[in-house]
Structure 1
Amino acid sequence: MSGATVIIVEDDIGLNRAVARLLSIAGFHSRSFDSAEKLLESDAAPGADCFVFDIHLPGMTGVELLERLDAADIHRPVIFITAHDDLHTRHVARAGASYLTKPFTGQALIQAIDAALLLPT
């Protein structure tokens, strides 16, 4: 959905910037944060249409961040990304969330976001 706002929370600054550029080229608006805590300190979350969260962030994890947003009644589709693809990681990425393993293609991320934006929240 072109024009949608996607919030990225990724501690790898290079990947964070690359994803933001990709989303811009694809017609999305994005806001990037390098930690869950920085997103929560901002006023950005309610304005998002979709989230892209690294699961293994320093401090609060992507899964814990999603739980905090749910508790604040901010329900948006989420795409989890991770370099640690194992049974435990897949288990903690709750059902219904998209899940991409690093490295992923730009096309795979855009397709996941497009599909997530079509889901009811």
Structure 2
Amino acid sequence: MTTPRKLIAILEDDTGMRRAVERLLTISGYRTRAFTSAGDDGVAECLRTAYCVVADVNLPGLSGPAFYRALPSPRPPVVFVTAYDNEAARAEIRHSGGRELLTKPFLRNDLLSAIERATRSRP
């Protein structure tokens, strides 16, 4: 019997980055569902079963951290990514309950390590 692959939800509005993250995670053994914004159809349903979320800080409409903060508990762990790392973004991430932030561009191993750290307390 095979173990089901864990689902990672991706919220990223940049098409190239979204596809790159999808490929990287798929090659690394995860299932993925990708969305361009927090308001896309299927996001809420996907997050109910997601092992982890990889979310851009600067999404159209609601920011990644604001969206994450508004999710009902229990929330899946999150790894935020941004091209604009600054103290304001870090403060918003901390306020949302997020602990992991990667600056774009990032390496494959950095993303996988961030997911591992974020999900460490999950079954």
TM-score using structure 1 length: 0.88
In 2, the alpha carbon distance for the partners of 1:19 and 1:96 equals 19
Please say which of residues 104-113 and 37-46 is displaced more in the overlay: 37-46
In 1, the alpha carbon distance for the partners of 2:19 and 2:62 equals 21
**Uncovered stretches (5+) of structure 2, i.e. residues with no partner:** none
- 8 Å CA contact 1:45–1:74 kept in 2: the answer is no
| 1:90-105 aligned within 5 A | 90-94=90-94, 96-105=98-107
**Uncovered stretches (5+) of structure 1, i.e. residues with no partner:** none
SS at match of 1:93: helix
Q: Which residue is 2:109 aligned to?
A: 107
Q: Percent identity?
A: 37
May I ask how many residue pairs the two structures share in their alignment? 118
SS at match of 1:79: strand
1:120, CA displacement in angstroms?
4.6
Q: Which residue is 1:86 aligned to?
A: 86
Please say which of residues 96-105 and 15-24 is displaced more in the overlay: 96-105
| 1:59-74 aligned within 5 A | 59-69=61-71, 72-74=72-74
Partner deviation per Cα, 1:2-44 (whole Å, 9 max, x = no partner): 8211100000011001100100000011100000111665521
User: Residues 39 and 105 from structure 1, CA distance in 2 versus in 1: closer, same or farther, beyond 3 angstroms?
Assistant: farther
In 2, the alpha carbon distance for the partners of 1:58 and 1:77 equals 21
TM-score using structure 2 length: 0.87
